[in-house]
């Protein structure tokens, strides 16, 4: 796929990262879950720990 301008190419790459890479791709280093799910779990654990203190 080609894009007429650099700006359009950058937008397409950013969209791909946001839609596929961070939300769907599983990563072995974090237990075969998508990075966005890992981030959500960490955030919830951090908030729970703050609430408990």
| pTM, 2 dp | 0.53
Query: What is the three-class DSSP state of 2?
Result: coil
Per-residue pLDDT reduced to its tens digit, 1-53: 799 999 999 999 999 988 887 778 888 999 999 888 999 999 998 888 888 77
- Residue 52 has what pLDDT? 78
DSSP H or E run through 42 = helix 35-52
- Residue 21 has what pLDDT? 78
* Rg of the chain, C-alpha, whole Å: 16
- Residue 51 has what pLDDT? 81
Cα distances (Å, whole numbers) of residue 20 to 4, 9, 23: 23, 16, 5
Structure tokens at 39: 């981030």
- Residue 36 has what pLDDT? 85
């Amino acid at each position: 796929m080609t894009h007429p301008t650099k700006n359009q190419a950058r937008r397409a790459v950013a969209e791909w990262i946001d839609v596929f890479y961070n939300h769907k791709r599983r990563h072995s280093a974090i237990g075969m879950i998508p990075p966005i799910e890992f981030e959500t779990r960490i955030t919830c654990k951090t908030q729970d720990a703050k609430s408990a203190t």
